[in-house]
Amino acid sequence: MKEVLIFGHKNPDTDSITSSLVMENLEKKLGNKNVKAVRLGNVNKETQYVLNYLGIEAPELISSVDDNQEVILVDHNEASQSADNINNAKVLKVIDHHAINFATSTPLYYRAEPVGCTATVLYKMYKENDVEIDKKIASLMLSAIASDTLLLKSPTTTEEDKKVVKKLEEISGLDISVYGLDMLKSGTDISDYTPEQVINIDCKLFEKGNKKFRIAQVNTADLDSIFKNQAYYEKAINDDIKKENLDLYVFAATDIINSNSKIISLGNDAPVVEKAFGVSVDNNTAMLENVVSRKKQILPNILNNLE
Amino acid sequence: MKEVLIFGHKNPDTDSITSSLVMENLEKKLGNKNVKAVRLGNVNKETQYVLNYLGIEAPELISSVDDNQEVILVDHNEASQSADNINNAKVLKVIDHHAINFATSTPLYYRAEPVGCTATVLYKMYKENDVEIDKKIASLMLSAIASDTLLLKSPTTTEEDKKVVKKLEEISGLDISVYGLDMLKSGTDISDYTPEQVINIDCKLFEKGNKKFRIAQVNTADLDSIFKNQAYYEKAINDDIKKENLDLYVFAATDIINSNSKIISLGNDAPVVEKAFGVSVDNNTAMLENVVSRKKQILPNILNNLE
């Protein structure tokens, strides 16, 4: 019998990779042996730090699923973010924490909560099913929450995430503010990346009416190392604007130590960020104090001010 | 502050009415006092039997929701089955057991499981949250499961529904095979209904591509009493097809004693039922042996064969 595949979204982040591994563990503990975590893209440096630290192999890489393949989706639900051919697969379960844009013709198990991380939902599923969480699984979940909530400092963080982190710190023996910061810092190492590669580490396309725009985000512990190369970044961004016919491109370098973001805003609608964030743009850049979340802060403010 | 409204689907069945009352109870027990169960249509006879038996008032009737009204959906998720103007409301939670056709721009609590009844999911939510289930709430949930699973005999019934029923029988002191059968029989009394009224007792609208179709279902202990009036039913159905521009209308009279359904199929796509169920249509009717579930049997077979 073919295995049920478990995977997170394309361009996987730490939550997508670890939650597929955690869900595989939970399913097996519940007696569903025929399941396998896989991934839809390269393991990023932050996630590699987690896997190395715990001595865990990365899940196998796949890009598409066969017709009628049984799958479990974690950390996403939209077909555009999922495996190629997902619309011909059979989705058995979805465990997620994002907005929903999903349709099936048969009932399924769907569990989403408005919390900071998929791992927080998974933690609750272990509890409900009375399944023990071992040290490695707790460490994987802690890593995911540290990553998605930037050490519980992002405005996406909920009280539930905080409670779960306390429990996971006890089981794993890890301190999120120490281990998590090391993990985040590993993810910020862009020394061997070109500006083109950096802006594509975590870049999402959005649309409003007939406007098309991208918001790229990269975490850093050293804003200067990025902005000393501002001219190269602007060239990479302007190339993308031309190629994709974009009205706006916002590149946010998010300082994980000081919890703010310095942005580069380009394109015909670049001035929108002045109104969106109450800042003055100087030399195409602006500092956004206390802004760290694309989902909760950058995107909604741009959407509300783009005309 | 405006109350959060909790409601099931239009043309509410017993699960939709009782689950809105049960969810109101659960939210209040969890400290969310500002919630109110309402309903989107008339209380049917089966549900009235339940409310009378337990001495409970029916929830208030509404038809539409205001812009930005906060709502919790139970027993449905599709906008076409929900309150008018639902697309401008703010959906906080969904508790359901149906296929999903749902989109939001913000994360929310979404809990669906492929079980026979919303009440089974709600039962698990009480357990997870360590909230006590009192006798009335247990009776409401038992009624919903008895209704949705036709006394645990429908193919939609899962092992989880059966386990939950055992627990609910203990708490409520009710025997599903006695109380549930009385309840179902009350629901089959259509002696004072016109055919127009009968087809609207439990009628749902579905869409596939540009096709629009309805599947109506009525439980009966006496198929002949319905089909002796077939001509009147056909007129009522054809009127609805014209009014709503439907491509297909399937009316299923489900024999709760013998566990099969006799259907009337009308509209330009009426012949689809022959392929969908491997039957010959004679005089617009066909007998579907062992078919009692719209969700698990009638709907998926039509969806898979409608082009």
Question: Rounded distance, CA B141 to CA B139, Å?
Answer: 5
Alpha helical stretches, state H, chain A? 14-29, 45-54, 118-128, 135-148, 159-172, 181-187, 195-199, 223-227, 230-244, 272-277, 299-305
User: Where in chain B is CATH 3.10.310.20?
Assistant: 195-305
Residue B305: both structure tokens together: 């064969």
pLDDT of residue B106: 85
Q: Please indicate whether, in this complex, the C-beta atoms of A112 and B113 are within 8 angstroms of each other.
A: no
Q: Inform me whether the C-beta atom of residue A110 falls under 8 Å from chain B C-beta atoms.
A: yes
Q: Inform me whether the C-beta atom of residue B128 falls under 8 Å from chain A C-beta atoms.
A: yes
Provide mean pLDDT across the span B279-294.
Answer: 95
pLDDT band at A207 (very low <50, low <70, confident <90, very high): confident
Nearest-CA distance A190 → chain B (Å): 31
pLDDT of residue B250: 98
> CB under 8 Å to A74, separation ≥6 — which residues?
A6, A7, A8, A16, A19, A20, A23, A94, A95, A96, A118, A122
pLDDT of residue A266: 98
pLDDT of residue B201: 85
Q: Please indicate whether, in this complex, the C-beta atoms of A99 and B108 are within 8 angstroms of each other.
A: yes
pLDDT of residue A295: 85
Lowest mean pLDDT among A27-41, A229-243, B199-213: B199-213
Q: Inform me whether the C-beta atom of residue A61 falls under 8 Å from chain B C-beta atoms.
A: no
pLDDT of residue B123: 98
pLDDT of residue A1: 65
Answer yes or no: is pLDDT of A277 > 70.
yes
User: Where in chain A is CATH 3.90.1640.10?
Assistant: 4-185
Q: List CB contacts (< 8 A) between A115 and chain B.
A: 107
- Looking at the DSSP bridge assignments, the partners of residue B212 are B207
Answer yes or no: is pLDDT of B202 > 90.
no
Question: Rounded distance, CA B274 to CA B96, Å?
Answer: 31
Number of Cβ pairs < 8 A linking chain A and chain B: 77
Q: Which residues of A236-261 are buried (b: 16+ CB within 10 A; e: fewer)?
A: bbeebbeeeebbbbbbbbbbbeeebb
DSSP reduced 3-state for A130: coil
pLDDT band at A292 (very low <50, low <70, confident <90, very high): very high
Q: How many CB atoms lie within 10 A of CB A306?
A: 17
- Mean pLDDT taken over chain A: 95
Nearest-CA distance A72 → chain B (Å): 14
Nearest-CA distance B83 → chain A (Å): 19
Share of chain B above pLDDT 90, in %: 90
- ipTM here: 0.84
Structure confidence by residue, pLDDT tens digits, B22-73: 999 999 999 999 999 999 999 999 999 999 999 999 999 999 999 999 999 9
Which among A98, A106, A128 has the least Cβ separation from residue B300?
Answer: A106
Question: Into which CATH architecture does domain A195-305 fall?
Answer: Roll (3.10)
Maximum distance among all Cα pairs of chain B, rounded to whole angstroms: 57
Only one residue has tokens 């949930």, namely B141
Question: Rounded distance, CA A140 to CA B249, Å?
Answer: 51
Answer yes or no: is pLDDT of B191 > 90.
no
Give CA separation, B229 vs A162, B196, B267, in Å. Answer: 63, 12, 19
pLDDT band at B1 (very low <50, low <70, confident <90, very high): low
Provide mean pLDDT across the span A218-247.
Answer: 95
- Looking at the DSSP bridge assignments, the partners of residue A218 are A253
pLDDT band at B21 (very low <50, low <70, confident <90, very high): very high
Nearest-CA distance A120 → chain B (Å): 13
**Is 3.90.1640.10 the CATH classification of the domain at B4-185?**
yes
Which among A97, A110, A127 has the least Cβ separation from residue B100?
Answer: A110
Structure confidence by residue, pLDDT tens digits, B139-154: 999 999 999 999 999 9
Nearest-CA distance B124 → chain A (Å): 9
Question: Rounded distance, CA A265 to CA A275, Å?
Answer: 13
Q: Please indicate whether, in this complex, the C-beta atoms of A103 and B101 are within 8 angstroms of each other.
A: yes
pLDDT of residue B36: 98
Q: Inform me whether the C-beta atom of residue A129 falls under 8 Å from chain B C-beta atoms.
A: no
Q: What is the chain B residue with the closest CA to A156?
A: B107
Which among B109, B115, B300 has the least Cβ separation from residue A114?
Answer: B109
Answer yes or no: is pLDDT of A236 > 70.
yes
